[in-house]
Structure 1
């Protein structure tokens, strides 16, 4: 690890955090914690998963994920269903309400970020951002 890599990592982390703060309030669903929102987003992207699979994706203890899922069940955002091949497990499934909440939240955040890009970046900067996104997507990809 070089000093250049450390400086790049620091700048990237700070920029991501600033952008997240700028867009967080736009699409923040009411009555849902950030951890719960992340689970809703995962379920929208991946489809039904077990609590253990959600915990693995988020790199948290299964017990912690169980608490998050229980909260989502209580407010009607997800339901539990028997696993089709393993009777000891349950799948966590997004409800219509949960899907609507996460889609509205995502659309609002995307619109807010699009407005930031349109208002703060010129065409050259947007082209540079598009190129950088390819690199960032490779960096973020599962190995």
Structure 2
């Protein structure tokens, strides 16, 4: 195995572990722990992509439709989503965010960003500059 291949494999290992630990820490900065991470993911998808059917939401979240139905029922019970008739298919409904969900998502994002901002302030200017560049590279990797 070449030195480049070994270096790349080691970097992949180290980066994977660092991203997993960082993601876990960031997810733990929660405002409302009664809303699960699965619920937040579904709400975030609706915010990003707009109203959609439960089946479309299941597809975006890569879960089976019955699982998403349970999530939607729970979110509706919490007053975070509404169901309304599908505009073209009378057999379906569309799911949309309520103002309470918009408020919750905003509060969750602000809490995570406040935590992260505090952590970034502990770093040197040089370390923050490296992370600024790394953020672009990580986004490039995430895009495929």
TM-score by length of 1: 0.86
- The number of residue pairs the alignment matches comes to 140
Give the structure 2 partner of residue 139 of structure 1.
141
CA RMSD, aligned part only?
A: 1.8
Q: 1:57 aligns with which of 51, 60, 68?
A: 60
Aligned residue for 1:112, secondary structure, equals helix
Structure 2 residues not aligned, in runs of 5+: none
1:84 matched to 2:116? The reply is: no
Matched, 1:104 2:110: no
| Structure 1 Cα separation of the partners of residues 76 and 70 of structure 2 | 10
TM-score when normalising by structure 2: 0.85
Q: 1:25 and 1:139 mapped to 2: Cα distance? A: 24
Which has the larger displacement, 49-58 or 25-34?
25-34
Q: Is the 8 A contact 1:80 1:91 kept in 2?
A: yes
SS at match of 1:80: strand
> Which deviates more, 130-139 or 11-20?
11-20
